[in-house]
Structure 1
Amino acid sequence: MHCTLGVDVGTSSTKGVLVAHNGEILASATRAHEVDRPHTGWVEMVAHIWWDEFVSIAGELISAHPDVEITAVGVSGMGPCVLLADADDQPVRPAILYGVDTRAGAQIARMTDELGIDEITRVGGSTLTSQAGGAKIAWISDEEPDAWAEARRFFMPATWLARKLTGAYVLDHQSASQTSPFYDIENEAWYDPWWQQYAGTIEQPRLTWAGDLAGEVTDAASAVTGIPTGTPVITGTIDAWTEAVSVGAHEIGDLMLMYGTTMFLVATGEQTLRTPSMWTTAGAFPGTRNLAGGLSTSGALTAWIKDLTGSDYPELLAEAELSGPGAKGLLILPYFAGERTPIQDPDARGVIAGLTLEHGRGDLYRAALEATALGVRHNVETMRAAGADIRRIVAVGGGTQGQLWLQVISDVTGLVQEVPETTIGASYGAAFLAASAVASEGAAPVITDWNPITQTITPNPVHRDFYDTLFDRYVRLYEGSKDVVHELAADQRGA
């Protein structure tokens, strides 16, 4: 049987799937891991985890089905991350993760001052924020001169796997467009003047599209993974975009809503929409543009409550259901790791308002679910104000297994959500891209055949007025508390 192997390196785990050419998942495997947080605002991971877990997962999946023929490999990973390696491909320091890592504030301010916010937006589409990969590269140059002196190449998780598998040094256009300010979005190319100014000693990776072939599995990679020599490997891209592919939410007018450790939204269109509070990027495919946003915590927040209360998810969900809309007068700002879009505030912090001695853990959990939903609504309204034409919403990720969370987000946002049959996410999308890359002419797979929509979540109109009021309070609570919260964040950095 012919199949493809898809592997995605996420924030809290690496997942892999072996998928038949009709879209059936033959086997799956997961390896849990944790990020490192050596200082407030720093979020890192050592890159050997990515390759070690890929090797382990590939071995497990191949052992489970030794009779299959792997026709191609798909890779995906969280991002935009910054992993710098030396001339021998040895990492010079741990990888700096995406917008949840907020260390590069000084570099963002300096680069914005030097280049000009209007020019940055004209070239790359977005202002510089904690999501900007170029600012993280500049941080290493400024703060770690020994590591910088050795650095010669730049990777993200997907392209690190592609490098280890094939020897190719590539980066996809979508990921490159988040390496702000080094990418020219209209010309779909590296912007040499600014690359040379801030990253001149780093070799530019060759740009391709996510589903393009990066190369073939080498003898050395085959020996450790069990994947046959010569097997094609795609370039891959950032996990949120691969998740959108996995559910068919990458067409014009689609919005992909990813439920995970963080929450991510990707709206797809043809025009380059620019707004300072969101991220303008290249799409996963030629001719598309995205307006994207992300919450810094979602599943991470609910997991924090679970661990803090010593409960399990079924208990908390049952109690949250009983708590009801509004969580008996609780309102949470979910900014427990700062916040990305649309407020772009790395010094934002979590706030729990309205707490009394009568509240229990179920109320707290309900308020956390509503907080993420209010954050999603804030992003969607900002996207639409910028001109995004959002015609359909497709939900994906581990959080879609929780019916209450899905319903709360539909009720708060007023949006219908479509949920596909398979919500395993980016690893499945990577397998689909791999299958598409090697399909013969006229025989390319269709994602709606692989993964049809099986559930539709409709907002409950009874709750509309209440959640409109709660959203207004949510926005006002941030504005009213941010001065004090910023002072506390400064204290945390000092500690």
Structure 2
Amino acid sequence: MSDYVLAIDIGTTNVKIALFDIKGNQILVHREKCVNTGHNGSEMIDPSVWWNSLINTITKIPEDKRHNIRALSISGQGPTIVPMNIKGNFNQKAITWLDNRHISEISRITEEKNDPQLAAVIAKLSWMGKRIEEPHYLLQPADYICYQLSGKIVNMTFDCEGYIPWNKDDLNRFDLSDKFIIPELAPTGDMVGKITKKISKELDLPKDVIVVSGAPDFAAALVGTGTVKAGYLCDRGGTSQGVTLCSSKRIKAAGVMTTPYFIKNHWKLSGIMKTSGKAIDWFCSNIADCDVEQMKTSLSLTNRPSNIIFLPYLSGERSPHWNPNARGVFFGLTLDADKKQMLLSILEGISFSIADIVSRMENSGCEISKIRTTGGQATNDILNQIKSDVLNKKIELPHVYESELLGTAIFAISALKNKDIIEMSSELVKISKVYYPDISKHERYLELLKIYRDIYINNIDSFSHIAKIQKRS
């Protein structure tokens, strides 16, 4: 019987697990939805929802395979704040990265020349700090699961800037150090410990299963797509979107974050969009009562471009605008518009948003030699083709499309084999399909991309105005 590693990912919409053999072959995948329904910008969730979903998914693994798991690792969404008091209790709900209630405070902190992402985290911590009486540990979703499995209180991530949303200096600077405790860092790929006897018994797992330190889901996806060479760009699309370039040069691009890569002497240029995939779910569930999976064939037969422009800013936007007041827009609707055209325009709007970031990278001197797509959106052939046409670049699809799971498995496999994570990534990641751009469609998309950008620029004041009105209601 083969030895296996268990990859766990705590996403915004789903808790997912995957079993891999030591050669990196995916054996099975299970997932369970864990959506929290927000209201008036609030996006909070009881972390026990993740834990209960994880238990349900693990118990679906066949017994013979479960008994041959040697190691596990965990990745997760963020920045999401999971507070744990010093007694190990979780009495407060987690505040997810989607929470959008602190716009004025974020704006104030950003105006003091702070990074917008840091401002968002500090604003949420300040709000939470007023509601707790004793110090709390700062965990993220993956850290929470690690604690439940091993009893260890750690922050799991690569040991470099840009992979953890808080540090002691910032807590001191914003007078939060008496409210929050930053746990010990567990560098990605290091052994944290073993699962507890209690967990071994409850989940029917071997008692010597090793818990290997994981990382944020975006970092796991970089490893799982083989984005470990200069010039490689990872487009990771799920509920949100992350566009991350590995660069050998430290380049600053407007609206894009530049931080150290987890590879020595390399840099990570990142653009993050808030509600790209969420916009698809919103339209299909709340507006058109349709299923995007069932509409793939009809979408592929629909004329492109749709000539309707959609701005996917349904909860403000991060990159490249960093504007919490930005709002979603359908532009160019006529009496001929139907749900197929509108859904197609959402896919195009996501692609325009990616193009906005990629063009800023390239205009700042970045070189992009490969683009690899991953995440839930990667199963959508028409969306992958639209991205290729809009960008006028080849798009590569790795053999494991949920690459955060493969990346997380690589953390565990590397620990078992005592090998370098980068080496294992290059060895185990394979490309299953390539999408090639249609130049005639690209030229038509360029016209629409200009209008897409103009719509945002021309409505900045109106976005702020409507946001104020919505906040009052």
5 Å matches for 1:264-303? 264-275=242-253, 277-284=255-262, 288-303=266-281
Counterpart of 1:309 (choices 272, 278, 288) is 288
Counterpart of 1:169 (choices 153, 157, 168) is 153
Structure-1 separation of matches of 2:373 and 2:10: 20
Distance 1:192 1:404, change over 3 A: closer
Cα displacement (A) at 1:173:
4.0
- 1:232 alignment counterpart: 210
For residues 435-485 of structure 1, give each alpha carbon's deviation from its aligned partner in whole angstroms, at most 9, with x where no partner exists. 111214699973354331121111111122211111111100111123223
Structure-2 separation of matches of 1:94 and 1:210: 26
Mean CA deviation greater in 400-409 or 50-59: 50-59
Answer yes or no: is 1:137 the counterpart of 2:125.
Answer: yes
Structure-2 separation of matches of 1:211 and 1:287: 20
For residues 217-270 of structure 1, give each alpha carbon's deviation from its aligned partner in whole angstroms, at most 9, with x where no partner exists. 122232333332332212211112211211211333221101212121111234
Structure-2 separation of matches of 1:96 and 1:376: 26
Q: What is the DSSP-based 3-state SS (H/G/I as helix, E as strand, rest coil) of the residue aligned with 1:347? A: coil
5 Å matches for 1:53-452? 53-63=53-63, 65-66=65-66, 68-98=67-97, 100-112=98-110, 116-117=112-113, 120=114, 127-129=115-117, 132-141=120-129, 145-147=130-132, 149-171=133-155, 172-173=157-158, 177=162, 180=165, 182-183=166-167, 190-191=168-169, 194=172, 197-275=175-253, 277-284=255-262, 288-307=266-285, 308-327=287-306, 329-440=307-418, 446-452=424-430
Cα displacement (A) at 1:108:
2.9
For residues 167-209 of structure 1, give each alpha carbon's deviation from its aligned partner in whole angstroms, at most 9, with x where no partner exists. 22222247973555x44xxxxxx53773673333322211232
Q: Which runs of 5+ in 2 are unaligned?
A: none
Structure-1 separation of matches of 2:27 and 2:453: 45
- 2:4 alignment counterpart: 3
Q: Which runs of 5+ in 1 are unaligned?
A: 121-126, 184-189
Structure-1 separation of matches of 2:161 and 2:57: 27
- 1:187 alignment counterpart: none
Cα displacement (A) at 1:396:
0.8
RMSD over equivalenced CA pairs, Å:
2.5
Identity of aligned residues (%): 23
Structure-2 separation of matches of 1:251 and 1:282: 14
Contact 1:92 1:151 in 2 (8 A): no
For residues 381-416 of structure 1, give each alpha carbon's deviation from its aligned partner in whole angstroms, at most 9, with x where no partner exists. 122334433221111112212111101011111121
Distance 1:193 1:478, change over 3 A: closer
Contact 1:168 1:215 in 2 (8 A): yes
Contact 1:174 1:282 in 2 (8 A): no
For residues 141-178 of structure 1, give each alpha carbon's deviation from its aligned partner in whole angstroms, at most 9, with x where no partner exists. 2xxx232x234201001111112222222222479735
Mean CA deviation greater in 4-13 or 437-446: 437-446
Cα displacement (A) at 1:427:
2.0
TM-score (structure 1 length as normaliser):
0.88
Structure-2 separation of matches of 1:206 and 1:93: 21
- AA at the equivalent of 1:140: M
Contact 2:163 2:216 in 1 (8 A): no
Structure-2 separation of matches of 1:193 and 1:365: 43
Structure-1 separation of matches of 2:92 and 2:250: 35
Contact 1:237 1:284 in 2 (8 A): no
Residues paired across the two proteins, number: 470
Contact 2:222 2:407 in 1 (8 A): yes
